[in-house]
Chains A and B, each alone.
Chain A
Amino acid sequence: MSIENKTEFILEMRGLCVDGYSNEGWMPILKGIDLNLRRGEILGLIGESGAGKSTLGAAAMGYVRDGTRFASGSVNFDGIELTFATEAQKNALRGARIAYVAQSAAASFNPAHKLIDQHCEAPLQHRLRTKTAAQKDAIQLYEQLRLPNPKEIGFRYPHQVSGGQLQRAMTAMAMSCRPDLLIFDEPTTALDVTTQIDVLSAIRDIVRVYNTAAIYITHDLAVVAQMADRIKVLLRGKEIEEAPTRNMLLSPQEEYTKSLWAVRRFKSPSKPAPKEGEKSLVSLHNIHASYNKNDKIVDDVSFEIFKGMTVAVVGESGSGKSTIARVMTGLLPPDQGNVRRMDKPLPLHYKSRSREQLRQIQMIYQMADTALNPKIPVCEIIGRPAEFYSGLQGAELKGRVEELLELIELDPAEYYNRRPSELSGGQKQRIGIARALAADPEIIICDEITSALDQLVAEGILRLLDRLQRELNMTYMFITHDLATVRAIADFIVVMKDGKVIEKGTKEEVLRPPHHSYTELLLSSVPEMDPDWLSDLLKQRG
């Protein structure tokens, strides 16, 4: 049954509720959302993880993921009621009149088929074009989205194309039937800042050219400011507020929105510079490293880390920054060069390092989900390194674990026996920090530890690390692609590109103009909360 009722809106939602199935039965994910979208308009949806943004985006296509269901309310697409529509009716719309652009293009393209075949699938499925016409159209869209070699790139397989290009190819695929409505689900979250700019401007141009309405889902305010005409803020399945972009940026009304806007104001106060002639705690000397002989990942990298300081290693994916961490910890012995601690060489392979040397360098990982064993309770995760390195037993060990839990601001009484699956993302990352601290290390290597977290949570982690640094005189090496994090926490910055150090120095030296041209490119590519930022930047760059 479909209710025909044309209005000025291409999409209307009224009191939409979607439930998700969990251990406790059906729980609401969306709790009564109202939404109006005019033809050709872009609505930004913003919120933290768990806010229900993706569920809302999928619901706009009449799609509910496995384990979720429409509970009540309506989704009306151009007069067609999607909550009542049959699967066949919805299939006729999907891809043809409503199209979807997913977060990870690498995972959302089928690895077994060429890009252009996947592109042409929807037009052929919906009998809108012949194969030749669809291919010709694909090449035209590739050109409009400024993909290199538009005539040839479609005939490659997904793994042969870079992430930023895949994301644009996916946008082209979504445009293949010239839909009335596009759903963008965090399309640039997985990309480097420099690549993000190309994708954002390509997306913005193409929806303008074809006057396509769009819902743009993201957790990044600065990004949504560039893309959307209006912004809607979600929190735990409810709308907090909605307003035109400029109003929303200038004068958010609700407390929650203000807190989102205020994030990233955190700045660690600068520390006194190391004394003249002070020995560096850890230093790298002319490191060359590779995973196989022909493919050099790290090329002649040297820098020093002083006690009590935070060194940020910044670069895009593939710049070799994580490899540096593997070299320091001895997981990957370098081809050339050496690693020194207090000016004495450390054995290059971790197996040749003494337990004491292993204790001194600890790591925290990006994905707390995969770095913590889900079956082991928190007390063992933290207790194990404390026992291994310090030989603590029984009550002493328990005391130490409780002390560590207090250090990371989790109540020992509540969290001592929990398992990682019973913790939130930010809490898991805190356990990762406690595990590193349990060894009582001299330096902690933090590998992209905030990039999988929401901004508010990430800020909490940065504040915690900063506090620990002051209290314990801890030293950090911070590996990140996020310049906002660098601004917040770094004392020294090492900028890397293609395995080489492009620039290094104190934060003031690196961040104050004049910049090295690559640093300038990185800095200027970080989106700002100004709706005109992208247009101005593109104008400047010509």
Chain B
Amino acid sequence: MGDITFLILKRLGFGLMTLLIVSIVIFFAVELLPGDIAETVLGQAATAETVEAFRNKIGLNRPAFVRYFEWLSGAVTGDFGVSLVTDNPVGNAIAERLSNTLFLATYAAVIAVPVAIFLGILVALLRNTIFDRLTNIATLASISSPEFFVAYILIIYLSVKTGFFPPIANLSGNMSFPELLTRTFLPALTLVLVTTAHMMRMTRAAIINLLAEPYIEMARMKGVSRWKVIVRHTLPNAWAPIITVVALNMAYLITGVVLVEVVFVYPGIGQLLVDAVSKRDFPIVQACCLIFAATFILLNLAADVGAILSNPRLRNPK
């Protein structure tokens, strides 16, 4: 077990290093944006004095690296500074939006991951049949259409024409859980449709890749049925690539949902980011980017650890 703990700690260390580098990139990328932040935020009507006062207030006159370290030390303790537009702490603004996004991501993942893996197994079993080809075409179609397009199609058919689900996923504090699930069903379904194909195809490929292994032939020579051959003998050895692609899709569900949130007017972190960019509210932009980066790194780390744990050689050393 010592080896695995060491491996995980090593990966964790690399993850933190990456995050540090990303934080530098984010901070200075925002610095490099053209135009003066104070002027942009205050608008064209601002006088020279108010601009100067604003610059002093948010510390723009001090060297960038000093501000970077202040920002970084704040971020480590969860303090991302104050919104330039509302004067509220960034942390508060983000917390609610992030939890909304995480909810939607979980909702979509809980449906998409089991469905994708089950379908992947099924098409691997029925490979090169009509069912396999049709599933292939359907999933390819859904993966190739832009998600806003998928979203509008769903709105037309499941909302406008039939009225099953509300077309807009606005939230209010006192909704019951079933109502919450109904309200957010269409955005969740959109995300399911755009992520399932990727995971399903990887599951299919990972399984088919292993079917030429001698232990698969051995299992068939023992009279094990085709379904059990796949589930019992192939799947346990196919987890590593499947876990990786699941983690990548989870990261996408958190960081890549801006368009879906905009279409359904869902108050998630993606919307917040878009608003903040258009208002030049840089503390929020920086915080969002850092959270996105951390999500990616964390999920990749989880995928690595999952892949390691799924390998019996590493789990049970000699």
A residues whose Cβ falls under 8 Å from a Cβ of B: 61, 63, 65, 90-96, 99-100, 102-104, 107-113, 121-122, 125-126, 156-157, 159-160, 173
Which residues of A sit under 8 angstroms from B318, Cβ to Cβ?
Answer: 159-160
Whether B45 is near chain A, meaning CB under 8 Å from some CB there, is no
* Cβ–Cβ < 8 Å partners of A61 in chain B: 221
> Residue-by-residue, is B288-318 near A (CB-CB < 8 Å gives 1, otherwise 0)?
0000000000000000000000001100101
Set of chain B residues within 8 Å of A99, measured between Cβ atoms = 221-222
11 A-B pairs whose Cβ atoms sit less than 8 Å apart in the complex: A63-B220, A65-B217, A91-B225, A94-B222, A95-B223, A102-B221, A110-B219, A110-B236, A126-B223, A157-B313, A160-B318
Question: A95 and B316 in contact (CB under 8 A), knowing A102-B214, A110-B233?
Answer: no
Q: Counting CB contacts under 8 A, is B218 at the interface? A: yes
Assembly CA distance A112 to B219 (angstroms): 13
CB distance from A283 to the nearest CB of B (A): 36
User: Min CB distance, B47 to chain A, in Å?
Assistant: 69
Q: What is the 8 Å Cβ interface bit string for chain B, positions 221-253, against chain A (1 contact, 0 not)?
A: 111110010001100110000000000000000
> Does the CB pair A100–B214 fall under 8 Å?
no
The interface residues of chain A lying within 8 Å CB-to-CB of B219 are: 110, 121
Given contacts A107-B213, A110-B215, contact A96 B316 (CB under 8 A): no
* Chain B residues near A91 (CB-CB < 8 A): 223-225
Which among A65, A93, A160, A173 is the interface contact of B316 at CB below 8 angstroms? A160
- Contact yes or no, A107 B214, CB < 8 A: yes
Q: Shortest beta-carbon distance, A292 to chain B, in Å? A: 12
Residues of B118-157 contacting chain A, CB below 8 A: none
Is A125's CB under 8 angstroms from B215's CB? Answer: no
Q: Which residue of B lies closest to A110 (CB)?
A: B215
Q: Are the C-beta atoms of B224 and A125 separated by less than 8 Å?
A: yes
**Cα–Cα distance between A94 and B312 once the two chains are bound (Å):** 27
Query: Which of B213, B214, B236 has the most chain A CB atoms closer than 10 A to its own CB?
Result: B214
Which residue on A lies nearest to B316, using beta carbons?
A157
Interfacial chain B residues near A107, Cβ < 8 Å: 213-215
List A contacts of B223 (CB < 8 A).
90-96, 122, 125-126
Q: Count A-B contacts at CB 8 Å.
A: 78
Q: How close is A310's CB to chain B, nearest CB, in angstroms?
A: 36
Q: Which one, A90, A95, A108, A159, contacts B215 given CB within 8 A?
A: A108
For the complex, give the distance between the alpha carbons of A93 and B221 in Å: 9
A109 touches B312 (CB 8 A): no
Report B45 CB to chain A, min CB distance, Å. Answer: 69
Q: How far is the CB of B245 from chain A (nearest CB, A)?
A: 19
Tell whether, in the assembled complex, residue A94 and residue B313 are in contact, meaning their CB atoms are under 8 Å apart: no
The 5 closest A-B pairs by CB, nearest first: A95-B222, A112-B236, A94-B223, A95-B223, A100-B221
Contacts of B316 in A (CB 8 A): 156-157, 159-160
Q: Flag if A122 contacts B214 (CB, 8 Å).
A: no
CA–CA, A102 and B228, complex, Å: 20
Residue of A nearest to B218 (CB): A108
Cα–Cα, bound, A99→B220 (Å): 11
The residue that A121 contacts in the complex, of B224, B237, B313, with Cβ under 8 A, is B224
When chains A and B are docked, how far (Å) is the Cα of A111 from the Cα of B217? Answer: 14
Are B221 and A63 in contact, with the CB atoms below 8 A? yes
> Which A residues lie within 8 Å of B213 (CB)?
107
Distance between Cα atoms of A112 and B213 in the complex (Å): 13
A102 touches B218 (CB 8 A): yes
CA distance A122 to B233 in the complex (A): 13
Name the B residues within 8 Å of A65 (CB-CB).
217
Cβ of B154 to closest chain A Cβ, rounded Å: 39
A157 to B318, CA, bound (A): 9
Known A102-B218, A157-B312, A160-B318; contact A113-B224, beta-carbon cutoff 8 A: no
18 further contact pairs, Cβ within 8 A, besides A112-B312, A121-B232 = A65-B217, A91-B225, A94-B221, A94-B222, A99-B221, A102-B217, A104-B214, A107-B214, A109-B215, A109-B218, A110-B236, A112-B233, A122-B222, A125-B222, A125-B223, A126-B223, A156-B316, A159-B312
A111 to B15, CA, bound (A): 30
Cβ–Cβ contact B222 & A112, under 8 A: no
Q: Which residues of B are found within 8 Å of A121, using beta-carbon distances?
A: 219, 222, 224, 232
Of A93, A108, A160, the residue contacting B214 (CB under 8 A) is A108
